[in-house]
């Protein structure tokens, strides 16, 4: 929606720059130093100016002669061409301005004076799925790499083709001054590009109508009152003349219009589309905001639009070019998405006016937008920036709006308020066509001079334009007369109606564009009017948006298809509109958006309940999250201490209390899943976490302050700071402190803190993780509430935020710029750091954030504004309601890179915490009698659940064993492991394949050694989350309280971690690796497991591949093993082998390294109750028991294995898994090349005596929770 409105009472150009003066120069020492440097070279500059003046005179003489010969009618145009000659010299000498800016950047930051090496590659967290509809569900935070700075080479022609622009560097150094540029107030006096008959200027006039799906009116009312008629008009206009073109962006409107059309209209419109007259651009459900949105939601709205286009017209209409003229700033995430979906180019408009000017002066308004993770340019997308103030007609034909407005023929007879420059629009006639055509041609040529090609894009439209047939005819007919005249009478120009693809196809390949990295936040349209308020406006609705995203994500994880979720996905998509999630619509429209989302949430929840009910013996299941009205705060409506069903939508495990919830699984648990206060298991919490006894504010490990901006102006879009005060000092309210400060409340502001456990795999003592849950109800006008977190961190003004939960942005605090310019969007994350620690704030919804002092992060909670900010909304923001905001704060001291020369990356711990916060457990209560549910929730079919990682890794056939990853289970015996790796290094194991190291704890020496292997092997480290090494006094290690009232195992032995730890690790490890998505080209059907105290033969991998080819498709085999002596325990029972024999033998499985396939592992999962309830501390002997005749046939494992006649693995230890001495009677096994099988065993084992040690109910329960198959309920 156009907020840069043309006013009738005064010049629009004045409105662009004269409200409040910006600083005339950068006021700090940096710029003074820059001026000194420029003064030193002034004598050189004077000499150069003399030379340039002489060249200008020569150019002037030549071009004057040319102009006389052409005998142009319009003296104004001749004057402009004369100016173009002088201006051409300006651009040719523009290297001086580049040199000045480089000097400034060098003074600001000497480290950025040259371009750093961009070769340091970083990868994204998670991978993108190739499956179209899974893309949004798979989106994750991305790593970024080293920034590339602007570099310039003096040139007398064009800027060097290999030039890079880093927006983070540019915004840290650009003066952001605002001198009066004349007709183009925010630019300069632009001269026209000369016409060349041998290389004609191609001008494409692109008719469009920007139709907001909600802003001043609701989506429905807009359609009925305006958009329906606009599309009728477009249809009528285009079918009259095939030379006419039009572009359309918002599929939400077009789909509705299409549904209401009779068949003959649909057929004619289809032909218009197929003929290329009507072109869809971007093709999303809406034109989304790019500041507050997550990648997940952006992709869903794009998919909804493309799905409809594909189903209605076919693949050929799917857009290849994107049109984004109204979002208030731009994110590289959108460029990344578009490239993923096959786009070739994109257009943007709302870029800070000073940035536009800088880019225009360098002819960098068209560039390849490169992702920070991309070293190769594979994700570059060609991008066009519109150069002027707005996207309306007065600001799109050229730099002088008073001229361009005269060619908005919808304003004839004072239509749309006429032109405010007192130069009315004039209908084209045969009498004036020559004069009028040359007048607008001059503007097109001036616009062309800002770009490096000879092609000009001129949009022709505005908000909700082409409402009547008469308006459309005025535009098309008058411009057609201009086209006809110019094409026939002026050499060197070709003009026509066009589409976005017409322009991009004509301009691409005509020059080498520069590369640009970074974002375009924070946007300002004029003066110091920064659009940083909308990052927080209507924060309740931003939170409601994320709730809908959460349930859609969960339903998809349960197996919901896009078709089943169609209506609800479209409700989410509608709100991604740049006046929806931004909070910049009228009150009635905000209510309407909330109604769509609230209904969608309830219906998605109902779908999940129905899906669960079909597999449960209950009819009373209900979602625990409820809301009584669209804009009322959701509440938890399940009884505590009662059983509930909790579903984990993530591919990683989560926790509900002490209960582990496996990935993509539903289990029965007892509520609550979390409690306010410190962790019960953290005995040091009281020394780490401290509160002010009077205010209740946290004071350690970092400070918490409730703050208020008392403002005097601003609105839904704009933030203008006023007085900053502390909330408790300002309001003088009674403070209630509970649980020593973990809960603090006043009448309007409440805060609860929950300490979160750091999963063992991320190390102990490396981080403190705390959830802050705020409930606020802002009822006082002109106040903006925020919380400030303050840590002893010297971040030196450097501040990081995320971009759409998919990338990161880096900001540099500037004291010379207004505070409102230092506020940035925070879709999910803000972070500061130094070499000692990093403070990161994660949020479950979007808001604004800033770091105005070293060591601080300010995060907005809500804002309430009495007045409008004159951007078209016509009201303030006063519909605040009770709102809940949840932050997760991480104070990390390890595992992050604080080097300022490298790109910011989050840690793996932060990534896991982000995942859990954004996709928490879905909880359902009212399950009735819990005993009736045992086993009630069964495994689902593929129809119910998307293919999991096991399925994705299968390949085309069950017998496909193209790749077999190796898994080493390690503890603390580094010397053993070094010998094992040396044997692997000398074997035929392909080093490109995954080498998985499963750690039984964070043993420093082991971790250091494994780190050294990463440059040689494709190492994947996993850490047992319940490692006894890391937590020796917690379950499943030594938890003495578990022996209270415990009668012991079958031998009456009390529970001991000596007996339980290794088995728990093995269970978790095997389940984890079979659930992995290995992200390799080969399929993975089988996996080889080995411990740290074994060496392998030179032919170990080929032996595995051969053995699996013999065993994997024969159901009688458990798998293959590699030592026929079972590590020396069965020397008397091994198959007889002749000297030199190279064959495979059948035998019983007992112990030792083995390779098994997914089918075998699934059988273990199916028999998990028997496995977990067996009182046997050895995992391998538990497997042997499952092969015995004591186990029911349908749960029994195959007892046969294949073993090579030549031993392929050798045990080098003298003790078991945790022994400490290397034996001296071992040697590296010899090669093996056998291919034939000798059948020698005919019956299964009969009966085995259990060894005990694994009988405690807690161990059994934990074992079952890990081995739970997808959607298996257990108590």
- Residues serving a catalytic function are 326
Q: Alpha-carbon distance 872 to 216, whole Å?
A: 9
Dihedral Cα 899, 903, 907, 910, nearest 10 deg: 120
1071 contacts 1267 by C-beta, under 8 angstroms: yes
Buried b (16+ CB within 10 A) or exposed e, 964-977: bbbbbbbbbbbebb
Task: Please give the full DSSP string across 1201-1235, using - where no structure is assigned.
Answer: EEEESS--EEE-BSSSTT---B-SS--PPPP----
Helix axes 566-575, 251-259, angle to 10 degrees: 130
For residue 106, the tally of other CB atoms under 10 A from its CB is 17
Reduced 3-state DSSP string for 942-1001: CCCCCCCHHHHCCCCCCCCCCECCEEEEECCCHHHHHHHHHHHHCCCCCCCCEEEEEECC
Q: Where are the beta strands (DSSP E) in 701-851?
A: 703-710, 723-726, 736-738, 743-745, 749-756, 767-776, 783-790, 798-803, 807-812, 824-826, 829-833, 838-843, 847-850
User: Are the C-beta atoms of 1159 and 958 separated by less than 8 Å?
Assistant: yes
| Cα separation, 942 vs 979, whole angstroms | 44
Cis bond before residue 701 (omega within 30° of 0): yes
The token pair at 101 is 């800016």
Residue 682 forms beta bridges with which residues?
Answer: none
User: In terms of residues, how long is the chain?
Assistant: 1275
How far apart CA 19 and CA 42 sit, in angstroms, is: 35
Cα 502–Cα 504–Cα 508 angle in degrees, nearest 5: 130
Within a 10 A sphere around the Cβ of 1127, how many other Cβ atoms? 21
CA distances in angstroms from 946 to 341, 572, 922, 942, listed in the order given: 22, 22, 18, 6
How far is 544 from 845, CA to CA, in rounded Å? 8
CA 798 to chain centre: 21
Measured CA to CA, the distance from residue 975 to residue 1006 in angstroms comes to: 9
| Distance from C-alpha of 570 to C-alpha of 572, rounded to nearest angstrom | 5
- The single residue listed with the structure tokens 């494994």 is 1010
Residues forming a β-bridge with 1007: none
| CA distances from residue 1166 to 938, 941, 1256 in whole angstroms, order as listed | 11, 15, 21
Q: What is the CA radius of gyration of the chain?
A: 35
DSSP labels for 501-558? HHHHHHHTTSS-PPEEES-B-S-BSSTT-B--STTTTTHHHHHHHHHHHHHHHHHHHH
Q: Is the dihedral of CA 831, 834, 835, 836 positive or negative?
A: negative
CB 763 within 8 A of CB 741: no
C-alpha 347, offset from chain centre: 21
Which two tokens mark 712?
């005097």
- Residue 374: helix, strand or coil by DSSP? coil
């Amino acid at each position: 929606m156009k907020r840069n409105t043309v006013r009738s009472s005064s010049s629009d150009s004045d409105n662009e720059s004269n409200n409040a003066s910006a600083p005339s120069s950068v006021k700090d020492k940096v710029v003074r130093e820059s001026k000194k440097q420029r003064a030193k070279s002034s004598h050189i500059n004077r000499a150069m100016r003399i030379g340039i003046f002489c060249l200008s005179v020569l150019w002037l003489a030549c071009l004057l002669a040319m102009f006389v010969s052409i005998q142009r009618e319009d003296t104004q145009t001749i004057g402009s061409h004369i100016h173009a000659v002088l201006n051409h010299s300006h651009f040719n000498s523009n290297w001086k301005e580049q040199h000045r800016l480089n000097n400034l950047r060098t003074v600001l930051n000497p480290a950025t004076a040259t371009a750093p090496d961009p070769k340091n590659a970083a990868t994204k967290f998670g991978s993108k799925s190739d499956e179209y509809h899974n893309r949004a569900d798979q989106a994750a935070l991305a790593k970024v790499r080293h920034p590339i700075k602007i570099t310039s080479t003096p040139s007398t022609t064009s800027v060097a083709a290999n030039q890079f622009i880093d927006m983070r560097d540019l915004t840290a150094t650009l003066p952001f001054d605002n001198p009066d540029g004349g007709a183009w107030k925010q630019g300069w006096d632009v001269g026209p590009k000369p016409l060349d008959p041998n290389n004609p200027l191609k001008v494409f006039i692109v008719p469009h109508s920007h139709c907001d799906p909600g802003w001043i009116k609701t989506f429905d009312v807009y359609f009925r009152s305006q958009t329906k008629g606009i599309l009728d008009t477009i249809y009528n206009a285009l079918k009259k003349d095939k030379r006419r073109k039009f572009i359309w962006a918002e599929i939400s409107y077009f789909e509705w219009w299409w549904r209401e059309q009779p068949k003959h209209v649909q057929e004619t419109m289809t032909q218009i589309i197929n003929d290329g007259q009507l072109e869809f651009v971007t093709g999303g459900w809406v034109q989304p905001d790019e500041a507050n949105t997550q990648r997940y939601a952006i992709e869903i709205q794009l998919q909804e639009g493309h799905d409809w286009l594909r189903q209605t017209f076919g693949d050929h209409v799917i857009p290849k070019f994107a049109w984004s003229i109204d979002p208030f700033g731009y994110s590289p995430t959108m460029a990344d998405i578009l490239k993923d979906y096959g786009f070739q180019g994109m257009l943007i408009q709302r870029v800070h006016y000073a940035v536009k000017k800088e880019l225009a002066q360098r002819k960098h308004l068209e560039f390849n937008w490169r992702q920070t993770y991309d070293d190769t340019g594979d994700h570059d997308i060609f991008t066009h920036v519109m150069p002027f103030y707005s996207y309306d007609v007065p600001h799109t034909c050229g730099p002088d709006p008073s001229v361009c407005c005269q060619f908005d023929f919808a304003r004839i007879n004072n239509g749309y308020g006429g032109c405010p420059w007192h130069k009315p629009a004039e209908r084209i006639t045969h009498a004036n066509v020559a004069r009028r055509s040359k007048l607008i041609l001059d503007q097109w040529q001036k616009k062309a001079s800002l770009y490096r090609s000879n092609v000009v894009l001129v949009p022709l439209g505005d908000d909700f334009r082409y409402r009547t047939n008469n308006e459309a005819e005025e535009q098309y007919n008058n411009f057609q007369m201009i086209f006809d005249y110019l094409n026939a009478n002026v050499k060197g120009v070709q003009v026509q109606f066009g589409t976005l693809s017409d322009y991009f196809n004509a301009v691409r390949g005509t020059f080498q564009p520069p590369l640009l990295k970074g974002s375009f936040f924070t946007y300002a349209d004029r003066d110091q009017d920064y659009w940083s308020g909308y990052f927080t406006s209507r924060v309740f609705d931003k939170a409601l948006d994320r709730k809908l995203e959460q349930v859609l994500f969960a339903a998809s994880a349960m197996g919901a298809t896009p078709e089943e979720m169609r209506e609800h996905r479209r409700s989410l998509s509608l709100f991604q509109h740049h006046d929806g999630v931004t909070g910049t619509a009228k009150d009635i429209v905000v209510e309407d958006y909330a109604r769509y989302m609230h209904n969608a949430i309830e219906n998605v929840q109902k779908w999940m309940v129905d899906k669960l009910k079909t597999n449960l013996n209950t009819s009373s299941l209900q979602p625990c999250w409820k809301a009584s009205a669209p804009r009322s705060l959701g509440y938890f409506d399940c009884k505590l201490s009662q059983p509930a069903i909790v579903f984990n939508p993530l591919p990683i495990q989560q926790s509900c209390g002490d209960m582990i919830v496996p990935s993509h699984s539903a289990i029965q648990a007892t509520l609550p899943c979390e409690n306010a206060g410190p962790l019960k298991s953290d005995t040091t919490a009281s020394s780490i976490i401290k509160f002010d006894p009077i205010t209740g504010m946290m004071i350690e490990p970092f400070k918490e302050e409730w703050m208020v901006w008392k403002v005097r102006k601003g609105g839904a879009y704009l933030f203008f700071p006023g007085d900053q005060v502390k909330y408790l000092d300002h309001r003088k309210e009674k403070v209630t402190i509970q649980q020593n400060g973990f809960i603090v409340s006043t009448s309007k502001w409440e805060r609860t803190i929950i300490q979160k456990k750091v999963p063992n795999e991320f190390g102990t003592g490396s981080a403190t993780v705390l959830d802050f849950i705020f409930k606020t109800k802002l009822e006082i006008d002109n106040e903006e509430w925020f919380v400030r977190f303050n840590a002893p961190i010297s971040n030196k003004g450097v501040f990081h935020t995320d971009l759409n939960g998919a990338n990161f942005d880096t900001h540099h605090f500037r004291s010379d710029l207004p505070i409102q310019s230092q506020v940035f969007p925070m879709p999910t994350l803000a972070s500061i750091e130094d070499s000692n620690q990093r403070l990161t704030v994660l949020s479950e919804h979007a808001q604004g954030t800033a770091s105005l002092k070293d060591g601080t992060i300010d995060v907005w909670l809500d804002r309430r504004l009495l007045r409008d900010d004159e951007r078209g909304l016509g009201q303030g923001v006063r519909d605040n309601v009770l709102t809940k905001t949840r932050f997760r704060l991480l104070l990390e001291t390890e595992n992050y890179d604080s080097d300022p020369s490298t790109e910011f990356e989050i840690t793996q711990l932060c990534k896991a915490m982000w995942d859990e916060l954004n996709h928490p457990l879905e909880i359902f209560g009212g399950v009735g009698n819990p005993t009736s549910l045992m086993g009630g929730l069964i495994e689902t079919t593929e129809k119910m659940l998307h293919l999991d990682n096991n399925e994705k890794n299968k390949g085309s056939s069950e017998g496909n064993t193209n790749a077999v990853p190796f898994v080493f289970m390690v503890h603390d015996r580094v010397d053993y492991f070094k010998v094992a790796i040396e044997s692997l290094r000398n074997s035929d194991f392909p080093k490109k394949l995954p080498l998985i190291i499963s750690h039984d704890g964070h043993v420093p020496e082991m971790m250091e050694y494994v780190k050294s292997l990463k440059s040689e092997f494709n190492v994947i480290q996993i850490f047992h989350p319940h490692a006894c090494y890391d937590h020796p006094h917690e379950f499943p290690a030594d938890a003495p309280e578990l022996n209270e009232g415990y009668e012991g195992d079958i031998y009456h032995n009390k529970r001991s971690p000596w007996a339980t730890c290794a088995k728990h690790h093995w269970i978790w490890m095997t389940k984890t690796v079979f659930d992995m998505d290995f992200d390799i080209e080969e399929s993975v059907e089988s996996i080889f497991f080995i411990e740290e105290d074994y060496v392998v033969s030179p032919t170990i991998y080929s032996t595995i591949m051969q053995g699996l080819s013999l065993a994997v498709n024969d159901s009688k085999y458990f798998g293959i093993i590699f030592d026929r002596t079972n590590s020396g325990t069965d020397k008397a029972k091994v198959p007889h082998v002749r000297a030199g024999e190279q064959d495979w033998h059948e035998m019983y499985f007992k112990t030792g390294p083995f390779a098994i396939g997914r089918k075998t592992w699934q059988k273990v999962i199916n028999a998990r109750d028997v496995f977990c309830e067996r009182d046997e501390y050895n995992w391998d002997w538990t497997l042997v028991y499952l092969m015995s005749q004591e186990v029911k046939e349908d749960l029994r494992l195959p007892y046969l294995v294949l073993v090579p006649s030549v031993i392929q693995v050798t045990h080098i230890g003298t003790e078991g898994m945790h022994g400490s001495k290397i034996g001296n009677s071992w040697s590296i096994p010899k090669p093996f090349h056998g291919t034939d099988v000798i059948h020698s065993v005919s019956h299964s084992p009969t009966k085995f005596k259990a060894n005990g040690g694994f009988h405690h109910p807690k161990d059994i329960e934990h074992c079952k929770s890990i081995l739970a198959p997808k959607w298996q309920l257990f108590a």
